[in-house]
Structure 1
Amino acid sequence: MDLTNIGIWVALVVIWIATVLAKMAMTRRMTRDHPVSNRPHPPVVSGFFLLNPLRVLLTKGVKAMTHEQHRALGSVFTLSFFGVNITFLVGPEVLDHFFQGSESEISHCNVFEFMVPILGKGVGFGADITTRTEQMRFHNDALKRPKIRNYIGAMLQEVEEYLAKWGQHGTVDIKHEMEQLVLLISSRCLLGKEIREKMLDEAHTLFRDLSGGMSLTSVLFPYAPTPTNRRRDAARAKLAKMFTEIVKSRRRGSSAGHHVQEDDVLQNLIDSKYKDGRPTTEAEVTGLIIMLLFGANNTSSVTSTWTGACLLSHGRWLAAAAEEQREIARRYGDRRRIDHDALLEMDTLHRCVKEALRMHPVIPVFFRKLLRGFTLRTKEGIEYEIPGGHHLASPALFNSRLPYVYRDPNVYDPDRFGPQRQEDKAGGRFSFTAFGGGRHSCVGEAYAYMQIKVIWSYLLRNFELKLVSPFPDTDWSKLVPSPKGNVMVSYKRVPA
C-alpha cells in the first residue's frame, strides 16, 4: 500500500470504519448488548486528548503509540474516534476472549470485507459462519502434518533446481530470491502441476493484479469502480476460468477411471466435501486456493528474508544453525537430501525462524469486531467490561516485545524458545501470536515452518553466506511489513 508508516494505515482504516457507520447502524442496534456487569469500562481517550496519540501514531507508528498509552493507562484502553471505539488489549493475560470467543460474540469478518471481491462470494469472509468453518476444515485437512510430509520432496526439488542456477560465488538480493523461491514452491504444492508447468508466468501476473485489491483505496472502498479494482476483478475472473478448467479436467479424468491422484493442496480441496455430502464447486476451490496463496506467499517469503537477515547478522546463531545441519547430514548420510523426519529434528533452525517471527511479525496488529460485551481481568487485577460494538485490537508487534514476558526483548535470542527457558509458554497461552491463536490460528503454520526450513537448511548446507548490506529497516508501506530495500548477501558454494 502507498503508505510510509503502518500508523497511517491504521488511522485511515479507522476513518474508513467511520464512513461505514451508517451501513453498520442496523447491525449495531441488533448487537448492542445490555450491560453484563457494573464493572467500569476501560479508560477512554477521546476528543482533544486524542490528538497526542494520533500524532504519535502518524509520526512514530503503532508500536510507539501503544507503548505510550500502555504506560499511561494500563493494558486495556480505548481510543474513541468519530464515534468508533477501538479497544487495545496489551499482554497475553487479556487475550483469551479475543482469540477464543465464538463467532457470535467476536468476529473479524467486517474488518476483511475488502477480501470478498478477491476470494469471491460464498468463500471465506464472503460466506456464512457455518460454511466458512467447514472451508477452514478443508484447509486444515490439506495442510495436516501427514499431508505436508508428501510435499517435502517437491519443496526440496524446487529449491535445488532454483539454487543450481547460482554460480560458484556471487552476490544476490536475498529478498528477491526468497520471493521467487516461495512462489515456485507455492505453485508446485498449492496451485498444482498444471499451473507450475504450463501457466506459471500468466498466473503470477494475474495474482499480482489481484494483489492490487490490497491497496489502500481497495481496502477502504472495495467496490468502487477504480482502475485498481477493475484490474483486480479482471484478474479474478481469468483466474477463476483457469482453475475451473483445471478442476473440471481432473474430475473428468477421475470419472473416466484413469485419474492419477495429484499430490498437491489443489487436489485436496477438489476432493473435499461438506458435512451434508456436497462437494466443493469450482468457484469455491478457486477462492480457497487464492486464500491459501495470499496467506502463504507474502508471509513465507518475508519471514524467510527476516530469518536470513537475523542469522547472518548474528555469528553465534549462524554457526549453531550450520553445525546443526552438518550433524543432521552426518546422521542421515546425505548432505544434500533431507526428508521430513530430518526437518523435524532441526530444533536450532526452528527456533531461529520463530525468533525472527517474534521480532518481525507479519501481522503487526490483529483486529476483531466485538458483537457481545464481556469482562476481563488485567495483569494488575483490574476488571473491565468491554461493551459490544467496540472494535478490538491486539498489537502483536508490541505484545511480542513485552519485557515481563521476553527477557531482553529487543535482542535476537532463539534460546528463549529452548527447553531451559520456553519464555513463550511461561508467559501465558497467547504470548506468541505470530500465527494468531485460538479459533482463528493460522492453519498453515506447520506448512510455513517446513517451507522456510527446507529453504534455509539447503542454503546452510551448501553455501557460505554473508550479509553485505546493513541490517534492513522495516518497510511499513506494505500490508505485510517486510525488510526495506535490497538485502544483499554474498555466497560461496561449498564443495560437494
Structure 2
Amino acid sequence: MEDSLVRETGMISPPMVSGAKPDTGHFEEFCLNPAPFLMRCHAECGEVSSFDLAGLKTTLLVGEDAHEAVYRAPDSQLSAAQAYQFMVPVFGQGIQYGAPPAIERQQLKIQAVGLRHDRMVHYAPIIAQEVRQWIADWPDEGEDDFYEKFTELTLKTSTHCLMGADFRASMSDEFRGLYHDLEMSVDPAGLADPNQHSEMAMRRDIARARLGELIGERVVQRKAALARGEEFHDMFQHYLDATYSDGTRLTDHEIAGMVIWFMFAGHHTSGNTSSWMLVELARHPDLMAEIVVELDQLLGDSEQVSFQSLREMPLLDAFLEEVLRLHAPLVTLSRRVMKDFHYKDYVIEAGDNVMVSPYVAHRQPEIFDDPLSFNPKRTFPDGPFAYLPFGGGRHKCVGNAFALLQVKTIFAYLLRKFEFELSEPAEYYRDIMPSLILRPSDPCRLRFRRRGR
C-alpha cells in the first residue's frame, strides 16, 4: 500500500533508521533510553526519520518548520488523544485523552482557569511556606539524594495548592505510594502498547482505584464543610465549582481524574527540573554565586518571597531557562496520524505516529550556538517552535507556569541558606529515563553546607 501511495502522490516515505530487529524493530533501543536513540535517528537521517516500535511506525520530525507543521495540524489529522491512550488508565475514562474532544477541550479550560494569574498569586505563599518548613530542620552540613528530596517536596507543594491545607496535613504514606505507582506505570513502552499487562500496569490500576476512593472521601468532607459555611480557594474547590458548557458539574470520578492530571502536570516537571537545576548550579559555582548575589540584593534578610519578587530575578530566570533547554522533562511528544500527513516531500500514513523531541530540538547547532554547553547567557531564538520544554500548540503542558513557580520559589529560599557541591564527578550526572520523564542519575547525591559557616 505504501509503495502505491508514493507512486500516486509523487511523495516519498521517510527514511528508516538502521538497526531494526526482525520482530520488535527499534522498540528495545527506544525503551532503554529514548533520548540517545532519537539523537541517533536525527544524526543518521536528518530532519525526518522513521523507526519501528514493535509494529508502530513512528516518524521523528526535527526543526522549527517541522515542529510548526505538527503543532498547527488539527486534532482531526494529528491526534494527541490517540497517541496517549496509555494515559487513560492513569487519569480515568472520560478525562483528558479518555474523553471526547469537545469534553477534553472544556476540561483543559477548567484546568487553565485554575492556573491563571490570580490563583498563582494565591499559590505562591503556600509553596513558600512548604519550602521554609522543608529546610527548617536541615543540619548545618550533610549529603543527600536531592532527586528524592525534591520529589517529596514538590508532591507536598502540589498537594497543598491542589487539595488544601487539611488534606496536606493528613497526607499519608499511602497517598505517596499510590501516586508513585501511577508515575512508574508511565514508561516509553506505553507508546507502542497502551494496554500492556505488566505487573506495573496492575499496580497502576489498583492505585488509581484507591486514589479515586480517597479523593471521593475528600469530596464528601468538602461538601460538608461548605454546608457549614467554610470557604476554600484551592484547586479542589475550583473543580467542585466548575461546570461544563451545558451547566453540569464534574462527577466525583471526573474530579479525581482532574486531580491526578494536575499532579502529573505540576509535580513531575517540578521535581525533575529542580534536581537538574541543583546539579547545574553545583557544576557552575561561579554562576551560582552570581544568582546568590541577585537574591541577596532583591530579598535581603527577608523570609518572605512574594509572587512579585519572583518576577524580578533575571539571572535565576535565565539559568532555569537553560536548564530546561538541556534537560527538558518531556523527551518525546507524540501524535497519531488520523489522515495522511504531508510534510515537504514526505508522506506519513494514517495509523503511524509522528513525534517531536524537545531533547533533540534543543541540541541543534543551527538554532543554538554550541548547543551541548551550558550557557545561561546565550541568546535564545525568537521563533515559537525552536524552544519547546513544555511542548507546544493546543496540547502544551497546562502545568508549566505552576511548575516554574515551584522551582523558582524553591531556589529563592534554598540558595540564600545553603551552598552546594557535587558528591560525584561531574560526568556522573547524566540523563536517565525510567519513565517518560527525564531525570538525573540515580542516586542524585550532592553535599550541602549552611552559608556563612
Fold equivalence (TM over 0.5):
yes
Aligned to 1:5: none
**Secondary structure, in 3 states, of the residue corresponding to 1:95?**
helix
From the superposition, tell whether residues 60 and 478 of structure 1 become closer, same or farther in structure 2 (CA, over 3 Å).
closer
Give distance in 2, aligned partners of 1:316 and 1:365.
32
Select 2:363's aligned residue among 395, 401, 413.
401
Task: Give the direction of change, closer, same or farther, for the CA distance of 1:475–1:65 in structure 2 (3 Å limit).
Answer: closer
- Name the residue aligned to 2:346: 384
From 426, 429, 443, the equivalent of 1:486 is: 443
Distance 2:122 2:79 in 1: 34
CA distance in 2, matches of 1:63, 1:495: 40
Is 1:104 paired with 2:71?
A: no
Cα deviation digits, residues 230-286 of structure 1 (max 9, x gap): 4322222221122112113323433x3x33322321111121111111111111010
CA-based RMSD: 2.9
Work out whether residues 300 and 448 of structure 1, in 8 Å CA contact, stay in contact via their aligned partners in 2. Answer: yes
Instruction: Report the equivalent of 1:380.
Output: none
SS at match of 2:377: helix
Which residue does 1:309 correspond to in 2? 279
Residue of structure 2 in register with 1:92 after alignment: 64
Q: Percent identity?
A: 27
SS in 2 for 1:85: strand
Q: 1:84 to 1:347 in 2, by over 3 A?
A: same
Distance in 2 separating the partners of 1:54 and 1:187: 38
Report the counterpart of residue 373 of structure 1 in structure 2: 340
Please say if 1:411 is aligned against 2:382: no
SS of 2:385's equivalent? coil
- The residue number in structure 1 matching 2:105 is 133
Cα separation, partners in 2 of 1:252 and 1:352, compared to 1, 3 Å: same
Q: 1:298 pairs with 268, 273, 279, which one? A: 268
Once the two structures are superposed, what CA deviation does each residue of 1:379-407 show, in whole Å capped at 9, x if it has no partner?
Answer: xxxx4343333310112211111001000
Tell me what 2:418 maps to: 463
| Aligned residues of 1:39 and 1:384 also touching (Cα < 8 A) | no
> Does the 8 A contact of 1:401 with 1:410 survive in 2?
yes
The alignment's TM-score, normalised by the length of structure 2, stands at 0.89
> In the alignment, which of 401, 424, 429 is matched to residue 446 of structure 1?
401
1:287 maps to what in 2? 257
> What amino acid does structure 2 have at the position aligned with 1:376?
Y
- Partners in 2 of 1:278 and 1:203 — Cα distance? 29
Residues 243 and 69 of structure 1: CA distance in aligned 2, closer, same or farther (over 3 Å)? closer
For the 8 Å contact 1:57–1:64, the answer to whether it is kept is: no
Contact 2:111-2:398 within 8 A present in 1 as well: yes
CA distance in 2 between partners of 1:478 and 1:465 (Å): 27
Does residue 430 of structure 1 match 2:385?
A: yes
- Unmatched 5+ stretches in structure 2: none
- Are residues 398 and 219 of structure 1, via their aligned partners in 2, closer, same or farther at CA, if it must alter by over 3 Å? closer
* DSSP 3-state at the match of 1:424: coil
Q: Deviations over 1:30-83 (max 9, x none)?
A: xxxx99x9451343328x875699499469954555445434543123336776
Q: How many pairs align?
A: 446
Separation in 1, partners of 2:330, 2:150: 19
* Partner residue in 1 for 2:14: 43
Shift in CA distance, 475/212, structure 1 to aligned 2, threshold 3 Å: closer
* Correspondence for 2:91: 119
Residue pairs, 1:328-339, within 5 angstroms: 328-330=298-300, 334-339=301-306
Assess if the C-alpha contact under 8 Å between 1:170 and 1:491 holds in 2: yes
1:11 aligned residue: none
Matched residues in 1 for 2:307 and 2:198: separation?
46
SS of match in other structure, 1:461: helix
Which amino acid in 2 is paired with 1:277? G
Residue of 187, 192, 195 corresponding to 2:164: 192
